[in-house]
Amino acid sequence: MEWWEKILAYLVQPVSIAAVLAYFGKRLVEQYLNKRVETYKAELKHETDLAIAETRHEHEKTQFRFTKLHEIRLEVAKEMVSRLVDLRVLFKKELIDIASGIISLEKDETIWEALHEKLTAFEIYYIKHRMFLTSEAGEKIEDFLRLLNHTNTANLNASYFIASGQEELSNQGVKEKTEVTTIVNVSIPRAIQEVEQGIREMMEW
Task: Identify the residue with better confidence: 159 or 21.
Answer: 159
pLDDT tens by residue, 192-205:
888 888 887 776 65
Global pTM? 0.56
Task: Identify the residue with better confidence: 100 or 158.
Answer: 158
Is 92 part of any domain? yes
Is 62 part of any domain? no
Cα 55 to the center of its chain, rounded Å: 23
Mean pLDDT of the chain: 72
Is 43 part of any domain? no
Is 13 part of any domain? no
Is 21 part of any domain? no
**Residues 188/150, Cβ–Cβ less than 8 Å:** no
We report the CATH number of the domain holding residue 171 as: 1.20.120.230
Residue 68 predicted with pLDDT over 70: yes
Task: Identify the residue with better confidence: 109 or 104.
Answer: 109
pLDDT for 159 equals: 72
pLDDT for 59 equals: 58
How far, in Å, CA of 11 to CA of 58, rounded?
65
Is 182 part of any domain? yes
pLDDT for 94 equals: 58
pLDDT tens by residue, 32-49:
666 777 777 777 677 766
Q: Which domain holds residue 130?
A: 76-203
* Number of domains the chain contains: 1
pLDDT for 147 equals: 86
Is 94 part of any domain? yes
Percent of the chain exceeding pLDDT 90 equals 0
pLDDT for 146 equals: 86
How far, in Å, CA of 90 to CA of 84, rounded?
10
Is 54 part of any domain? no
